[in-house]
Amino acid sequence: MVEPRAGEITVYFYAILFARYPQVRQMFPQGMDAQRDRLLRALLRIVDLADDPESLVRFCGHLGRDHRKFGTLAAHFPAVGECLLAALARYAGPAWTLDIAAAWAKAYGTVAQVMISAAEQDEAVRPAVWPATVVHRVSRGHGIAEITVRPHITYEYAAGQYVSVETPWWPKRWRYYSAANAPREDGTLTFHVRAVAGGSVSDALVHRAAVGDVLQLGPPMGDMVLDAADHRKLLFVAGGTGLAPIRALIEEVAHRGGRHQVDLFLGARTGAELYAVDDMLRMAQRHHWLTIRAAVSHEHLPGIRGSLPEVLAEYGPWYEHDVFLSGPARMVVSAMETLTLNGTPPHRIHHDPFETPVLSTS
Ligand SMILES: Cc1cc2nc3c(=O)[nH]c(=O)nc-3n(C[C@H](O)[C@H](O)[C@H](O)COP(=O)(O)OP(=O)(O)OC[C@H]3O[C@@H](n4cnc5c(N)ncnc54)[C@H](O)[C@@H]3O)c2cc1C
Ligand code: HEM
């Protein structure tokens, strides 16, 4: 009932939250239009999961741990709950009966409790954020930079995972970037960042970040890891900076002795946008188990022409493979369609969430 008015409810919710509890305002970014509806979307997701307690607890636990980096404390939950319920009551109108109000209060209390205890358990084992100094920065042209950071304290993650990053130029604006390397002995991580048009954090990372700057990293996230694969044959498909986690996975295959047969398809619109092809060709020279093919969709070049999904359909078959897809959402969705149409079981296709990772239940 309230979902169609999600935008208005969210604006109202934040307005009363910041008016009644000005002390929480500094936890949120200054301009937060793009993110405003996430809390409400999370609540709607929670309502959807009401009959699936296992997924519900996993989702809320994930959300609670993720909130540590925002500085959220148990004491903040009643304030948020009060304003959220007030906002729902206002927009639900006469449908907001005493029974419904009581049910929502109970549901919010339960969700808050799961989030708080997940955060407390997490606190016992790891920090909320990891400061990391930029130690290397290389421009790859076309608005792409490779940025290497050294966390001040050990940062444990698995190849294929992504990391939320906060820069000194846009405080409180957390954005996700995938590590492009398997864990290294020196503890450094390299990110491939593309400056998107009108983007804040990506633009600062590509055009402003310099050696010595300190970023903040949130905990690693994501299930697109090598352990998710059941099969020896792997198909990796990367579009644009989607190459980052795929590159990390290839390094991981190498670290584990190259026991997989890997087919990598790299895609871009133009040849020049295939920013890391040399690096990948060097990897293919070193590793006999790695085959690379590049596809360019908007330019006539010797080699393969077409979008990645089109090219995938031509090669194959891929139904004996575990598939890892990474890149623009449109590319991932259409590659998934092509692959499933050609017989790859959906559970063997792995990819990252497209937008707000904490809104997914996995
Ligand atoms: C799981 C995950 C992993 C990611 N890994 C990487 C990575 O390895 N490398 C990388 O460069 N990015 C990656 N991203 C995207 C990254 O998190 C940011 O969304 C992106 O850098 C834009 O942030 P911004 O603050 O610069 O833009 P914002 O200030 O948030 O947005 C400004 C404008 O840019 C548009 N915009 C936002 N994102 C994109 C986009 N991706 N393409 C085109 N337009 C966009 C917005 O609609 C808006 O109009 C990943 C995202 C997710 C969810
Ligand atoms: C049931 C309770 C809550 C739910 C369901 C919820 C949900 C969410 C979601 C889904 C996001 C987006 C996360 C992301 O994009 O990575 C978010 C962000 C955030 N939440 Fe919550 N939250 C809850 C309670 C709280 C509380 C109690 C606080 C403390 C005041 C809080 C503070 C924040 C902050 C500061 C952000 C970042 C906002 C931004 O980047 O724009 N949340 N929340």
β-pair type (162-166, 175-178):
antiparallel
| Architecture in CATH of 3-125 | Orthogonal Bundle (1.10)
**Which of 39, 162, 172, 176 has most ligand 2 atoms within 8 Å of its beta carbon, as the pocket-test mutant?**
39
Six-digit token pair at 113?
Answer: 């409790």
pTM as predicted:
0.92
Residue 191 CA, closest ligand 1 atom number: 8
Same fold across 3-125 and 226-359: no
Q: Which amino acid is at 211?
A: V
**Which of 70, 163, 174, 354 has most ligand 2 atoms within 8 Å of its beta carbon, as the pocket-test mutant?**
70
Residue 175 CA, closest ligand 1 atom number: 17
**Which of 169, 196, 207 has most ligand 1 atoms within 8 Å of its beta carbon, as the pocket-test mutant?**
196
CB-ligand 2 contact for 43 (6 Å cutoff): yes
Contacts with 58 (C-beta within 8 Å, 6 or more apart), sequence order: 361
Contacts with 254 (C-beta within 8 Å, 6 or more apart), sequence order: 182, 283, 286, 287
Tens digits of per-residue pLDDT, 112-128?
A: 999 999 999 999 999 99
Hey, which residues does 261 pair with through a beta bridge? 233
* CA-based nearest residue to 279, from 185, 180, 184: 180
Phi, psi of 135 (to 5 degrees): -115, -10
The helix or strand, by DSSP H or E, that contains position 235, with its residue range, turns out to be strand 233-239
Give nearest CA residue, ligand 2 atom 32: 72
Token look-up 């986690």 returns 245
CB-ligand 1 contact for 29 (6 Å cutoff): no
Q: How far is CA 327 from CA 90, 121, 237, 243, 331, in A?
A: 41, 33, 8, 7, 7
Report the C-alpha gap between 14 and 348 in whole angstroms.
41
Q: What confidence score (pLDDT) does residue 306 get?
A: 79
CB-ligand 1 contact for 81 (6 Å cutoff): no
Q: What confidence score (pLDDT) does residue 307 get?
A: 81
CB-ligand 2 contact for 131 (6 Å cutoff): no
Domain boundaries, the chain: 3-125, 130-221, 226-359
Domain 226-359 has CATH 3.40.50.80: yes
Is there a contact between 222 and 352 (Cβ–Cβ < 8 Å)? yes
Domain 130-221 has CATH 2.40.30.10: yes
CA of 195 to the centre of ligand 1 (A): 8
- Return per-residue pLDDT of the chain as tens, 362 residues: 888 888 889 899 999 999 999 999 999 988 766 567 777 778 878 888 888 889 889 989 999 999 999 999 999 999 999 999 999 999 999 999 999 999 999 999 999 999 999 999 999 999 999 999 999 999 998 899 999 999 999 999 999 999 999 999 999 999 999 999 999 999 999 999 999 999 999 999 999 999 999 999 999 999 999 999 888 999 999 998 999 999 999 999 999 999 999 999 998 888 777 888 889 999 999 999 999 998 888 777 666 677 888 888 888 889 999 999 999 998 899 899 999 998 899 999 999 887 766 666 55
Q: What confidence score (pLDDT) does residue 34 get?
A: 58
